Amino acid sequence: MNIGFIGLGTMGAPMAGHLLRAGNAVHVWSRRATGADSLVALGATRCASPAAVAAACGIVCTNLTGSADVEGIAGELAPGFAAGAIHVDFSTIAPSAARRIAAMYTVHEVDFVDAPVSGGGAGAQSATLAIMWGGKSALATRLQPLFKVLGKTVVHIGESGAGQVAKACNQIIMVAAIEATAEAARLAAAAGIDFAKVRSAMLGGSAGSRVLDVFGGRMATRDFAAGVEARLHHKDYALLMDEATRIGAPLPVAAAVWQQLNALLALGWGTQDSSTLLRVVEAAGSRHAP
């Protein structure tokens, strides 16, 4: 297939690489010209603009930071698309933004698929992402060869915007688990117990999880270098809290976790890993110590 890819960062670059290695003709564009260099070296075609990517491809993928980024690129892609093309967005954006983009494309006879992913950079590298997508179910046949190259789990959630709602649910549970792990680590330390040993015990019990394994491991070794920058989880929580407010869904635990993420950013740690929530809990404890 001729596939376009825009957004060649931690997630996008390895995803585009997998598509290349699977034998697809991949066309790329990057605001920073050097951002596409490694993929061009592997055989990708560099395009001069998003519209040029759209003109060359029946499917264009994006993986960008926020709603405004995706809406902006969609506006640049639209003039280049032929009728029947598909824009597949792997970003995490607001469900309302996904619906707006889908509606905008209808006049161009182009389909929009919101397909946020879970698995982080490691999942992108290993092609084991969980892909939750929203859009017309009739597109599944065309999308299946693309998705199977990139992910291990692929689920059609519903119409446009449904994939983003599913990702919001994923983030609620995952980041709340990171916060719970941070609080457990703080409790262990306050009691004079080695959290590394506590974590090892819990991994074999009912509290065992990927979050406890990965993020708990970083807390145990105090390795807060970014695996997943906390500012991105903060952005995701802002989106889901906005959606919850819009539809009147009470999320008391998520609201508390969002305040912890707010505190993390206020302390200047947004570019560190989300396991830095441990330091937020520790900072709060030090302020209240006798």
Catalytic positions: 167
CA neighbor of 40 nearest in space, from 27, 31, 49, 50: 27
Quote the CA–CA distance of 79 and 189 in Å, as a whole number.
Answer: 58
Show the tokens assigned to 258: 């969002």
Structure tokens at 259: 């305040």
One-letter identity of residue 97 = A
CA–CA separation, 274 vs 208, rounded Å?
A: 18
